[in-house]
Amino acid sequence: MSDRKTPLVIVATPNICWLNSAVKYPTRAPEIIEETVRCREAGASILHTHAEGQWSEVINGVRAKCDIVVQSGMSSIPLQERIELFEERSDMVSIIANHHAEAFTQVTCDVLHPLKELEEYSVACRKYGVKPEWEIWHPGSIWNLNRLIDKGLLDPPYITTFFLGWPGGTWSPPTVQEYLYRKSLMPKDCVITVSIMCKEQMDILVAAITHGDNVRVGTEDWPYLQNGKVAQTWELVKEIGDISRSLGRDVATPAIARELCGLPQKKSAAGKAPANKAS
């Protein structure tokens, strides 16, 4: 499904910076909603949020303010503790397609996610009409994804995110070669986004843009602009959007992102879907 003529989907991550605890980010629901609106105005079409303890307020508050797609994160938390995300009908729920093994500045994360759990997630997504977003960390993640597809538990398009350069036991080299190799292993009908947590970020994001895939940026991933300045997520969104346009690729609106991801269009106040135009 990669095509550089297709507008770029930008996923915004205005969340905790795992590498630098001094980086500020919105924590209270009103702050998260306000930053989300800024990200939407800057060109983001999907919000990846960590709204622990205030999921309902954030999901519904964001929907009341703008048309951005809501993707609920924190995939390390067990399914049974994330039922609220499904009940609130989050547009997407992030699910890691392998075990967690991450090592950050102030916290480590080692959590097993057996295939049975991934199957249960798939069933829950269908039951509640929520789209799973599969976190792809290495080729084993792709094996699991194929297994779920072969079992008939998933419906295309398959929403996926590559993670490169994230520290810990699931680390992979942050190189264009690694991105292209992993891309070559993916099943058909995948929508691919890339997330990079290191200084090599821009090389890979540009490769994703030119190869027709999508990007994820924000304080959670890598909080620095190209001039080295620490920035808020909306500023990072604006920068990558400007870069994409300079490379000849338009930036997707939420309506376009919904079409690409197989999501229903959000209804406007008049009961009509918003216009499907690139920003």
Contact (CB, 8 A) for 276 and 253: yes
* Chain length of the chain: 279
Q: Is 230 helix (H, G, I), strand (E, B) or coil?
A: strand
What integer pLDDT is reported at residue 268 of this predicted model?
56
Average pLDDT, whole number, for the chain? 94
| Structure tokens belonging to residue 113 | 């996610």
As a whole-number percent, the residues of the chain with pLDDT over 70 amount to 95
Calpha distance 108→114 (Å, rounded): 19
Contact (CB, 8 A) for 188 and 167: no
H or E element, residue 29: helix 29-42
Q: Is 109 helix (H, G, I), strand (E, B) or coil?
A: strand
Calpha distance 155→142 (Å, rounded): 16
Calpha distance 115→97 (Å, rounded): 8
Cα-based distances in Å from 117 to 36, 52, 75, 93, 146 = 31, 21, 12, 14, 15
**In the predicted model, what is the mean pLDDT of residues 61-83?**
96
**pLDDT class for 168, splitting at 50, 70, 90?**
very high
pLDDT digits (tens, 9 = 90+) for 113-135: 999 999 999 999 999 999 999 99
CA R_g for the chain? 17
Decide the pairing of beta strands 69-72 and 92-96. Answer: parallel
Chain centroid offset of residue 6 CA: 18
What integer pLDDT is reported at residue 271 of this predicted model?
38
Hey, what CATH topology would domain 10-261 get?
TIM Barrel (3.20.20)
Contact (CB, 8 A) for 19 and 197: yes
Decide the pairing of beta strands 108-111 and 100-103. Answer: antiparallel
**In the predicted model, what is the mean pLDDT of residues 41-69?**
97
